């Protein structure tokens, strides 16, 4: 693997999922693969799971880990030809060039603005690192995608599926803040690659990018959509068409134990209890949220292993 900025970078998904499950059984099998190599984790935004699971995965492979909260460094300029006489002190061209001398792999987390759709869609931060860094780039959640999360979700579904073609439903849920579409986008793309019966349910106005959802079934009736589901993946996202706006906070869309029935519950975390999902679901035996978070390590580890093998 040359980089992991999008799900398409995985050349063989089923083999990669198997390899991740194998790494989970024996996490230190390749503990010298990354010896004398360094990964740099760059955070433009907060993180708990991504930061620690990627660090753990890297250490399992013998990599040195450096972490930088970018807001502690110089303000970066991303535009070409700017007269830098205002708030930005360092251009991405120099920054990415410098960082590429310090690290063999650079991983980046940079959320969208949710105000400038065109700019967010261009993945201006992630794509600038891809353009100006000379080492492989990993997406730790960008404006429009969270491919490491989606890989962990695919691993989790593979582990817990009881039928050859499980029914998987992505259900929107209310949230007091405007959140990105990144997790939902990558989950949709991942489900389209797996042998699952996949559909999406959300209120009208919350349609994701049609270039991502393609022919995936969308049902505006949550109760109907959830019938006979094996896995229910709950996530809030802000409107894509009315970009970044909160159109509804209808609490009837919160996931409850009654609606979930016997289905397994999934969420990427962090999650707001009794807003997105009621306590009974998270505290119940059908919740897979901790297993998903655990699989973040092995999703990151299999990606790092495949990148290290090509360095
Ligand atoms: N799911 C996820 O990416 O968690 P963090 O935001 O805590 O990294």
- Kindly give the distance from the C-alpha atom of residue 6 to the centroid of ligand 1, in angstroms, as a whole number: 17
Average pLDDT estimate for 47-66: 98
Q: Is the ipTM of this complex over 0.95?
A: yes
Q: What is the model's pLDDT at position 36?
A: 98
Pull the structure tokens for residue 212. 């991502």
Over the stretch 68-113, which tens digit does the pLDDT of each residue have?
999 999 999 999 999 999 999 999 999 999 999 999 999 999 999 9
> 43, 67 in Cβ contact below 8 A?
yes
Tell me the sheet residues that pair with 198: 168
- Residue that the structure tokens 């109760």 belong to: 223
| pLDDT-based confidence at residue 306 (cuts at 50, 70, 90) | very high
Which residue ranges make up each domain of the chain?
7-144+296-308, 147-292
Q: Is any atom of ligand 1 closer than 6 Å to the C-beta of 54?
A: no
Q: What is the overall mean pLDDT for the chain? A: 98
Mutate to test the pocket of ligand 1, among 43, 44, 46, 50 (most ligand atoms within 8 A of CB): 50
- Kindly give the distance from the C-alpha atom of residue 140 to the centroid of ligand 1, in angstroms, as a whole number: 9
SS3 state at 210: helix
Q: How many CA atoms lie within 13 A of 265 on its CB side?
A: 28
> 132, 97 in Cβ contact below 8 A?
yes
Where do the DSSP E strands lie in the chain? 38-43, 64-69, 76-77, 90-91, 105-109, 137-139, 167-172, 197-201, 217-219, 231-235, 264-266
Average pLDDT estimate for 165-190: 98
Q: Is any atom of ligand 1 closer than 6 Å to the C-beta of 267?
A: no
Check: CATH 3.40.50.1370 for 147-292? yes
Q: State the Cα–Cα distance between residues 78 and 122, nearest whole angstrom.
A: 12
Pull the structure tokens for residue 160. 């817990």
Q: Considering the domain delimited by 7-144+296-308, tell me its CATH architecture.
A: 3-Layer(aba) Sandwich (3.40)
Q: Is any atom of ligand 1 closer than 6 Å to the C-beta of 50?
A: yes
Give the nearest ligand 1 atom to 141 CA.
3
Where do the DSSP E strands lie in 110-179? 137-139, 167-172
Over the stretch 250-266, which tens digit does the pLDDT of each residue have?
999 999 999 999 999 99
Do 7-144+296-308 and 147-292 come out as alike in CATH topology? Answer: yes
State the chain's maximal CA–CA distance in angstroms: 61
- Phi, then psi, of 225 in degrees rounded to 5: -65, -35
Q: Is any atom of ligand 1 closer than 6 Å to the C-beta of 49?
A: yes
């Amino acid at each position: 693997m040359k980089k992991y900025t999008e799900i398409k970078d995985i050349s063989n998904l089923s083999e990669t999922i198997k390899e991740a499950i194998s790494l989970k059984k024996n996490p230190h099998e390749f503990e010298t693969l990354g010896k004398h190599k360094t990964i740099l984790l760059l955070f433009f935004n907060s993180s708990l799971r991504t930061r620690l699971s990627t660090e753990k995965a890297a250490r399992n492979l013998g990599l040195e880990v450096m972490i930088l909260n970018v807001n502690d460094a110089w303000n970066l300029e991303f535009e070409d030809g700017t007269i830098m006489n205002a708030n930005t002190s360092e251009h991405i061209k120099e920054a990415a060039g410098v960082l590429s001398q310090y690290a063999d792999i650079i991983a980046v987390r940079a959320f969208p603005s949710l105000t400038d759709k065109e700019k967010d869609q261009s993945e201006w931060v992630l794509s600038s690192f891809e353009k100006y860094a000379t080492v492989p780039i990993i997406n730790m959640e960008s404006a429009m995608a969270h491919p490491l999360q989606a890989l962990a979700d695919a691993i989790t579904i593979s582990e817990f599926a009881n039928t050859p073609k499980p029914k998987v439903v992505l259900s929107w849920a209310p949230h007091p803040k405007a959140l990105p579409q990144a997790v939902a986008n990558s989950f949709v793309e991942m489900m389209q690659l797996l042998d699952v019966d996949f559909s999406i349910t959300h209120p009208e106005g919350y349609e994701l990018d049609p270039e991502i959802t393609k022919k995936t079934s969308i049902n505006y009736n949550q109760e109907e959509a959830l019938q006979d589901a094996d896995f229910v993946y709950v996530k809030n996202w802000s409107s894509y068409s009315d970009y970044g706006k909160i159109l509804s906070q209808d609490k009837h869309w919160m996931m409850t134990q009654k609606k979930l029935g016997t289905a397994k519950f999934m969420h990427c975390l962090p999650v707001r209890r009794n807003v997105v999902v009621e306590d009974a679901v998270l505290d119940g035996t059908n919740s897979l949220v901790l297993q998903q978070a655990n699989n973040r390590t092995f999703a990151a580890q299999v990606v790092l292993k495949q990148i290290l093998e090509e360095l």
